[in-house]
Amino acid sequence: METEVLYDLSPFVKIYNDGRVERLWGTETVPPSLDEKTGVQSKDVTLSSDSAVSARLYIPEAAIDSPQKLPVLVYYHGGCFIFETAWSPTYHNYLNAIVAEANIIAVSIEYRRAPEDPLPAAYDDSWTALKWVASHSTGNGPEEWLNSHACLEKVFLAGDSAGANIVHNLGIRSGEEKLNGIEVAGVMKVHPYFWGKEPLPSETTELEKRSFYEMLWQAANPTTTGCDDPLMNPMMDSRLSGLGWNKILVCVAGKDVLKYRGWYYKEALSQSGWSGVVEGIETPGEDHVFHLLNPGCDNAAKLMKKLVSFVNEDI
């Protein structure tokens, strides 16, 4: 007898009743390397023996023999918490590019994915990773690149899609639990993966589209109360004004179904009593994570320039 499909989330993933997961997108991986094009060196690390979290570290090769301390970018990949990895060529190439452009160190986090490890596993792993970065503040951490070359007073967080959702929820946690050892100078949320039960003005009312996003969220977080869960709809979170980040860049794309959520998030933050600074930019004519799917296009170059200047203006 054929196993029934519990969630058909094509073209991304199919999840079956018997627990089997068929990932259709973001399954290719590449090893760390010295990237000839950018001059960026990468390597993979396991954060600890009792942690499921690992990461790919990136550093400009020229910085390895230099006494200069570089800002650190902690990056969380997208993929609806279900597919894609820090090892995919998409993210590997993008991190090489941004590290070279901004002259920074990057720590690209590999967190556990749903449905095998449903939320909050990805949030918990992402927090564990941030604490691991902070453990290098005295110069005695487990990773030499961070001990010798990281300026932990200038740490930036970034993520696309689900990764941007993670960055937001880490900010809620940071508002409640002090994170010692690092100073987060700013965070970048690119095409954030937020949703809600009721459509926003101008947001799609097509039931098929809305139910697809609901199913994606349900598959990642089976115990959720739905799309108005504060983890997915920050506007429903009474703790929003206590968000731990002080400087936020929200990036949306003109053709992205999720863009209205990004703008609404920016407005809600500004009106919540939160004391930080938030900036929003929109790339017209582009769709969700276009800069990863087509990194060579003009708009991807413009977005890269914006992200790099956001990091470098504090230096």
Just list the catalytic residues: 161, 256, 288
CA 168, CA 161: separation in Å to the nearest integer? 11
User: Do residues 82 and 112 make contact, with C-beta atoms less than 8 angstroms apart?
Assistant: no
What distance in Å separates the CA atoms of residue 248 and residue 118, rounded to the nearest whole number?
27
Rounded CA-CA distance 85/122 in Å is 12
Q: Which tokens in the block code for residue 177? A: 């639990």
Query: Which of these, 109, 131, 91, 95, lies nearest to 307 by C-alpha position?
Result: 95
